């Protein structure tokens, strides 16, 4: 496991980086790109490699963002918001700027059950 926490069974994998986000009052800037997926709202601040996760459902699970990346030592990065429904969390990832990345959202219900929805959007060069 590169950095972060061991909150899902994929986290100990060599190509996965899992972080528990710090609670924040909202997203960082006006240039963020945001999208809504499976019970979770995700924003990316390209300038700082920040991922913001908003937990949009009081279902007992943690809001989760998944960033899939090519050309990187970590193919998957997960940011978890364990702070409860109606809260934001921020993770700080360092990814290669030229890599292709896909953004998905989901919910972490348990160590082995964390459904992630279809791709919300993708980006490269940011």
- Domains of the chain: which residue ranges? 16-124
Q: How confident is the model at residue 70 (pLDDT cuts 50, 70, 90)?
A: confident
DSSP assignment string, 49-79: TEEEEEE---SSSEEEEEEEESSSS-SEEEE
To the question of pTM greater than 0.85 for the whole model, the response is yes
CA dihedral 70, 29, 51, 107 (to 10 degrees): -130
State which CATH number among 1.10.3470, 2.60.40, 3.60.21, 1.10.287 fits the domain covering 16-124: 2.60.40
Question: What's the average model confidence in pLDDT over 21-29?
Answer: 87
> b vs e for 66-97, b when ≥16 Cβ sit within 10 Å of the residue's Cβ?
bbbbeebebbbbbbbbbbeeebbbbbebebee
Residue-level pLDDT at 65: 96
């Amino acid at each position: 496991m590169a950095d972060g926490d061991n909150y899902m069974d994929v986290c100990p994998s060599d190509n996965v980086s899992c972080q528990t986000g710090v609670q924040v009052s909202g997203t960082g800037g006006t240039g963020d790109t945001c999208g809504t997926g499976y019970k979770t709202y995700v924003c990316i601040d390209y300038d700082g490699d920040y991922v913001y996760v908003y937990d949009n459902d009081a279902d007992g699970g943690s809001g989760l963002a998944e960033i899939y990346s090519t050309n990187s030592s970590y193919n998957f990065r997960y940011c978890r918001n364990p702070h409860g429904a109606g809260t934001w969390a921020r993770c700080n990832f360092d990814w290669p700027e030229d890599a292709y990345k896909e953004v998905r959202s989901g919910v972490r219900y348990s160590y082995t059950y964390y459904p992630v929805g279809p791709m919300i959007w993708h980006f490269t060069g940011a």
